[in-house]
Structure 1
């Protein structure tokens, strides 16, 4: 789901709705918000907000402008306004809505970040509990890998180790989808695992 979809799907952000309603009451404005259609057979633009049901394409449009947010994909139409020129209402409302959409995106990003950090903290706590329990090393490794895979939303997780005096990496544990097994050369140029081992740096 794109950023635009996440912000306008199902229901517009509360502050955006409140601002639209405030402008409607303050200026007697008829407002419409549209976004580009993504489905075949649908109109070129879809209405995501409309002041009054029943406005048709034949109704006169007082003013129209893109909202400067996410590549100007959201279009604002001021069909009419009683207390001020439609152009003035449009000029005042568009940047206000852009700021509110941007604020909502930042809040959503922060919420996702906090959620991710919480998952990581829970993972670390789970790992410490597992290591402190009386378990076989292989079972502990599989449990930890499964927890990591769940947090990372990965299809497969594997633990490769290099034993003393042995050059190749050996698959010690794995969970999830089937994958490479057996020995793995740390110099393999086509292997992501080998490259991570050589560089001693994670890759995402």
Structure 2
């Protein structure tokens, strides 16, 4: 290596600093100017992300970090968004749980995995799932999903496997599949199950 100093920064910051390819710059001077303008750019980026859809605090921090913002700026931005109520993991978890359970037909296990993937802690995810789909009704939701997913050529195992992939427990999936597949091994008409 030539010993030259370098830094990675978001394209918006490079543009705001007026830097061009081939410019020779004093890194210290650029870093000072960067610290002056980066917080506003990070907030604007966060607003654009939130305009698209709700985000978890972990997801927002990851996106800003991936965009190249400094860790201290990311932490300050996420903290500010949380303090103002623009980021709220409880609200996000409940909204996502509602989408996954009601609209997409996921079982609690899959919804929990998805919430964890978004960075939602288990306690918060459990509260959101309990509010949307209490554990006591999981067998009924599996039965309803079995009715929706059943095909005339389905076997119990095939239908149960689709339910398990959607996040229903194996026992709930098997009970629901058995109720929708006739003793001859084929799915009953939707009205029958």
TM-score, normalised by the number of residues in structure 1: 0.22
Q: Which has the higher helix share?
A: 2
Q: Which has the higher contact order (CA 8 A, sep 6+)?
A: 2
Instruction: Indicate the structure (1 or 2) with the bigger Cα radius of gyration.
Output: 1
Higher strand share: 1
